[in-house]
Amino acid sequence: MAWITRSEGVFKLHDSDNYCGALLSLTDAAEIMAVDPAVLQPLASEDEEGVLRVNELDLHRSWGRGEISSPHPQRVGNARRSFDELVLKRLIELTYPQGNVEIQVPFGRKRADLVVEQAGSKLVVEFMGPSHFIQQYNRVLNPLARKKEVEQILGYECVVWPYWIQRCSRNVQALFEEDVIGLASVWSTRAHFGDFEIPKAAETIVQISQRFNAFRDNGIGYMYLDEHTAKPVHPIIERIQRGKVTGEKLIPPDNQRDRSFWLPRGLYEDSIG
């Protein structure tokens, strides 16, 4: 959550393909947390349409401090859970009501975020925020190494769900249905592909994103814009257009593809790097 800079955009739990952002209705937030809406009332404020909304950051912090009495523990053993994990869990349950979701499943001395079983198929979902791709505490995690470790111990596929893959029903379907076209989306993160420090960053991004069929004909640059889902355009676009940063901020340091693969439309020529 430290990588989120703006609490903008509306997320709709029951229309997640079309709305993503950091502001949840009080009822959606309560459904995700599995609590009565009254429990979250102190965190809510009324928007211009008269809807009570909760800031995702406030919700995460309050939950982390133990201020919300929820059946979802913030820790399981030594593992600290993320709010993203709770969102994905509820989205999976809504998308596949007959399926089954287990949380924080042990593998060796570690725990996997979610194990999902649907129509006889079983897989692990590991949500990974920016800290899995950028050096933290003098170390860089390797998402694909984590994936391999989980698969070797648990014996079934581990899908890395990175922060740039939208939390939505369509991407849940992409976990189990090969013909589903997934969706990438960011609107406020301070972390960008140009900051990544993991080995083979460009190809890792491609491999992870392909699992969700999240590319378009011209690449993945669409994820910063509002053309596929209702959300704020990421502020990095304006900064690039104003010359505050270059387009290299959006391109992995070891990239071998054409720049247009990573940049949104309109920036191919404007960002000369």
pLDDT digit string (tens) for 108-127?
889 999 999 999 999 999 99
Confidence of residue 268 (pLDDT cuts 50, 70, 90): low
C-beta neighbour count of 204 within 10 angstroms: 20
Q: What share of the chain is helix, strand, coil (3-state, %, to 5)?
A: 35, 20, 45
Tell me what pLDDT residue 273 has.
41
Distances (CA, A) of 221 to 84, 190, 266: 23, 16, 10
* Spatial distance between the Cα atoms of 118 and 102, rounded to a whole number of angstroms: 12
Q: How buried is 56 (Cβ within 10 angstroms: 0-12 exposed, 13-18 middle, 19+ buried)?
A: buried
Q: Minimal CA–CA distance to 1: which of 112, 104, 81? A: 81
Average pLDDT, rounded, for the chain: 92
C-beta neighbour count of 243 within 10 angstroms: 9
Q: Is the pLDDT score of 272 beyond 60?
A: no
* Spatial distance between the Cα atoms of 161 and 83, rounded to a whole number of angstroms: 14
Write the pLDDT tens digit of every residue in 71-120: 998 988 888 899 999 999 999 999 999 999 999 999 988 999 999 999 99
C-beta neighbour count of 139 within 10 angstroms: 8
* Spatial distance between the Cα atoms of 35 and 242, rounded to a whole number of angstroms: 45
Write the pLDDT tens digit of every residue in 170-203: 999 999 999 999 999 999 899 999 999 999 999 9
Distances (CA, A) of 189 to 1, 6, 48: 9, 8, 25
Tell me what pLDDT residue 269 has.
52
Tell me what pLDDT residue 4 has.
59
* pTM score above 0.85: yes
CB 71 within 8 A of CB 12: no
The mean pLDDT of 209-219, rounded to a whole number, is 95
264: region left, alpha or beta (phi > 0 left; psi from -120 to 50 alpha): beta
Which residues lie across from 139 on neighbouring strands? 136
Write the pLDDT tens digit of every residue in 60-73: 999 999 999 899 98
Q: Is the pLDDT score of 208 beyond 90?
A: yes
Encoded tokens for 174: 């992409």
Q: Coil, strand, or helix at residue 185?
A: coil
